[in-house]
Structure 1
């Protein structure tokens, strides 16, 4: 070895020794910190594996129970159901500089709310089912810009919900049910909340507009909340105001009466008074088919009776009618198995989708109206709400808000000219979670339906600008002609219908499984979009071809893009969930609650959000 090589070797050895010394120092600091935390908790002695003679982590593997590790560093603490008492001293765990998640669910912690804002790197806090019973300071979450998940359910917290939660830019899950929170629900600045629960508290007042799309069950048990999804808030008008309004009305009526008398006198004295023309009922218009109303041409419907009106399903003001639709410009979006769809521009600020259905003439008008009212009451962040409908025996028109960012099917299988952005892994996971949440809402709100969706497929999942999932064409099985439903709807392609001629409460789970497999593999299940009568090419064939292969990373859609060891495991987990949903045996197939719970557990990365952006 030359002198130069010797110096280089000593230089690298010196740096290696410094690096190893630093690792030992970090490990020693983490060990001391965790032992101090253990000693500060009641029943901490039960953590018998927390031995100061060993290190908490060896690489990515924990040596101590309840410790989450990566690269010899503690990034999470998960001590659930350990009968631990006392409180969490955040001054102690400030020394765990890589800590991003902390969970002490199902213990007996109590006292003041821990000062978590000292730990600004935290992404997740899980304190469900403890014995906290005091008020949380308004500024308790100030500066926690990375916090995504906060679970405080099943405690006895009192006072108002901290306003410092309302400005957190990444907060997604907020679980506050079964406490004693009081006052009004604060207004959240952003729309990033995707999973909330305020049930069984003492809250009152109007539900903020950004939260009105969540299910009623997530606000129940409060008593004094109002506004969607509950009844509209009643406005209390002071007595003095009522008196003033009454006086104004009386004065106005008097003025109208005087004006009417003067007008009558004028008409009687005038020989040239204008007479109104006699009323003549307008005949039904015989327009061209709506299929020809593309490229900005006038929308027209064949033999639509303009004496009938649109039936509106929500609280939106009836600012337009059927005649407005006929005069508006429209572009054909496409033709599906039920009929054609049109993007209809009523004004610069109002664009709707009009869908024609001509296979719904076997239900009575009463049955149809009753079912449409049910669908009209559905409000959820992952459903496209119905605005209105038009009823004729031969065909029906459904109106919904137009969603700008086209369907999931186009993003998965469309041409590059149609798709401007690839679907990476976090986006696909976000889409699946949105679909699952929307489907769960349908199950909860439409319990009488065997298949609350019935036609779940990628072309019936629309995506908004933020790539949030919006389900459409849901709840149509009861009003669709059964012979047509059996031919074209996804629910009737399931193994249980193929083998036993029936659909079940778990049929939509099978459809969800097919969709997840399609999203993760990028493969096109041909019969999802086109069918041949006789059903030779069925979705079960698509699934059989997937299930015969080993479930490996080679199955993933190449368009997902780069992925490494940190998210490979989570991607496989989601794909396996999809395959489990496709279990042919209905009895063994998971129910909706278990499916959603398992999907919610899937992370963007194996390290539980450790690789998220700051």
Structure 2
């Protein structure tokens, strides 16, 4: 017994010694302990010690055994950040709501840094130019400090990946007219001393992003006047041909050098210009302005898909503008955080929020309810993540109840909801990733040479699959009368087997007025004009528009520039009215997509689907068919099953073990 005890004691000693050696040999331990020693006067970081590895310390996360995240918000820290600049593998640094002051150190050594949050401190001095050397930086928040001086615009423009730039509530001065960050999604420079014209690249942001500056002008603020231009340039007019001249937010805000065009000044140059020369100059200016407008138009058109959703291929993102949600100074939670948690549904592979935050990801698209991303986790698992915004959520319980209902919906023609995350300032939905894109891209993408058209059999298969998915939603919980609320071709995804999967369903219940497009070609008339709530009948109308889109190849959410008989409403192609006008004139063949004309013996089926679509898009909700009948009519077009994974609409709803009245509706009782 004594021998066993002796060996046990010896083993424990060696284990302790190994742990001590391991922690002391960690390359990031010395700089972190030096940082604690100089900043943590209240000993808030009490588990930071040399006997443990830094990867277990409060606010520290590691990747490949190197510190990758330092998130210390609201710990009453003060002093210098110099020791943190030694952490070469650092990707996230958040020190919000502390008491740091003085100038920032040189950050150029942190070449891997992606997120930098230093708001709500007392930092001072000039804009930290070393930050502009961090070419991987996505989000920069210097707001609510005491920074002053001019913003080095030319250096800031080097941060081409920047998604967030928050500079509000400082004492920055000078102009921002040269800022050109095309990928910027979040910007705020309010509460400073900025002057001059707002550049075109920033004019898309709201008025609140520029408020409390006094001497800023141009869209979205009032137009610039000659007085504004004089005051911002110290009373001297800049030449309109000067390299420093930038495109302002509107043509009327361009600085016009009327002084140099006056006859008096013309004579100073050695004689009065001829009328022909003046006309030539005017025509030249108009030509240059026209070319610039065309280039800008083409630039922004290529950055948007046809229904107004932005697509940026290959863009890397970080989901949250704060790595762990918001810090609230008055909370009593440990560390001052108000954090949510990942909630998973049955059968979903589990992971942590931190796994999502450090995932390799790219933007898939941006819609009314938020932005979707493809995320590749460290283990190789691929998911789709939707970051929700502008939701009218009454409270956490209401949100959880709706997610519980949606998470239980399982069907071969639905995109399954795997998990969700809820915090006061961050709401994420995690879905199965569909590798073959969406119907919108199959129909409208790459219409030029070399395009592979979407054949009729595939279109009919997609129509049937989408109808089954919608039928399942409508019938899965009769007491709640679930609706989709946002049916459109970008929300019909295609899985690896080529089957249609309906996505983005059930979120319309949280819609706000700003999240609903005013010009949406899929929206039922009673919803678009009268502001009524979305119903299952309005879903049928939207689905009918989708069928017309399949048949015509026309997108119902773009302005019709054909100059033909197309009818528009609010600048958006009213596809049902256009189809009705063509059919009324007995030009039915003119309705169908030219890409379908190459296929033989499909005219009867196309006309049959057209009749279904026109019934669905009846202006009277009561005259629209129910979804089960729509499924039946589509499947009867060929008299055979269109999809190999077929369930009849009624059977797939009533007899499916995945959903019943008890286990679905019970979540919201």
Larger RCO of the pair (alpha carbons < 8 Å, separation 6+) = 2
Q: What TM-score comes out, normalization by structure 1 length? A: 0.49
Q: TM-score if structure 2 supplies the norm length?
A: 0.46
